[in-house]
């Protein structure tokens, strides 16, 4: 089973990078899936400038960089988006990347780990509105990382011992969300043939 952890911020000095590493490390530790970090900064996607909506264009000829992004997404059985909140929503770079998607995420489970002053609650709220349009299956469980906890995550994605031990910390919710998405990824495989 292949699970992609998608780094949803491309800003220099982005905090989301270490949050992504924590998510990927935790997912890999389960031993249940092959985990890959997919960094939007590695894809120079233009703003979507195709004449027809990707899902309604059987003759679609996407730009090479778009093909690279779509081919990468198509490899996975499930996705975990890691995203900050910008102006009470998901970052534009992530929304744009999703606007390029046609059917690559169809019938695949998706969850998210968001962060911000309210745990990125509105970033998640906006992301989960978009995903069904791509026929992705939004998981019941997601993870909010409170702003105050970010300092307790190292650049390598390790939680401090204190945060790890905190029963209200983010490790428990992440492990539960991972368990759930792995199960759904397995269960939904027959649907995708």
Ligand X SMILES: Cc1cc2nc3c(=O)[nH]c(=O)nc-3n(C[C@H](O)[C@H](O)[C@H](O)COP(=O)(O)O)c2cc1C
For 106-123, b/e burial (b = at least 16 CB within 10 A) is eebbbbbbbbbeebbebb
Of the pair 30, 117, the CB lying nearest ligand X is at 117
Which stretch, 6-14, 95-103, 155-163, 170-178, contacts ligand X (CB under 6 A)? 6-14
Binding-residue pattern over the window 81 to 100 for ligand X, x denoting contact by CB under 6 A: ---xxxxx------------
Position of tokens 């997404």? Answer: 73
Which stretch, 23-31, 55-63, 80-88, 99-107, contacts ligand X (CB under 6 A)? 80-88
Number of residues that bind ligand X (CB under 6 A): 13
- Does residue number 15 form part of the binding site for ligand X (CB under 6 A)? yes
Q: Are 108 and 77 in contact (CB under 8 A)?
A: yes
- How many residues are given for the chain? 193
Q: Are 142 and 124 in contact (CB under 8 A)?
A: yes
Give the C-alpha separation, 11 to 128, whole Å: 22
The Cα-based distances of 118 to 89, 122, 130, 148 in angstroms read 12, 8, 20, 10
- Does residue number 112 form part of the binding site for ligand X (CB under 6 A)? no
- Does residue number 127 form part of the binding site for ligand X (CB under 6 A)? no
Among 2, 11, 164, 189, binds ligand X (CB under 6 A): 11
- Does residue number 117 form part of the binding site for ligand X (CB under 6 A)? yes
Which residue ranges make up the site for ligand X (CB under 6 A)? 9, 11, 14-16, 84-88, 116-118
């Amino acid at each position: 089973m292949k699970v992609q952890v998608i780094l949803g911020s491309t800003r220099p000095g982005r905090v989301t990078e270490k949050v992504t590493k924590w998510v990927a490390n935790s997912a890999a530790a389960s031993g249940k899936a092959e985990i890959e970090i997919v960094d939007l900064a590695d894809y120079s996607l233009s703003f979507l400038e195709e004449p027809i909506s990707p899902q309604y264009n059987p003759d679609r000829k996407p730009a090479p960089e778009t093909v690279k992004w779509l081919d990468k997404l198509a490899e996975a059985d499930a996705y975990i988006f890691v995203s900050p909140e910008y102006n009470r929503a998901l970052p534009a770079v992530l929304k744009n990347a999703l606007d390029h998607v046609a059917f690559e995420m169809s019938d695949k489970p998706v969850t998210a780990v968001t962060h911000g002053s309210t745990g990125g609650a509105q970033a998640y709220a906006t992301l989960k509105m978009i995903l069904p349009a791509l026929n992705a299956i939004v998981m019941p469980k997601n993870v909010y990382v409170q702003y105050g906890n970010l300092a307790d995550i190292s650049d390598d994605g390790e939680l401090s011992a204190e945060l790890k031990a905190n029963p209200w910390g983010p490790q428990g919710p992440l492990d539960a969300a991972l368990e759930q998405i792995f199960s759904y990824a397995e269960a939904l495989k027959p649907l995708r043939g």
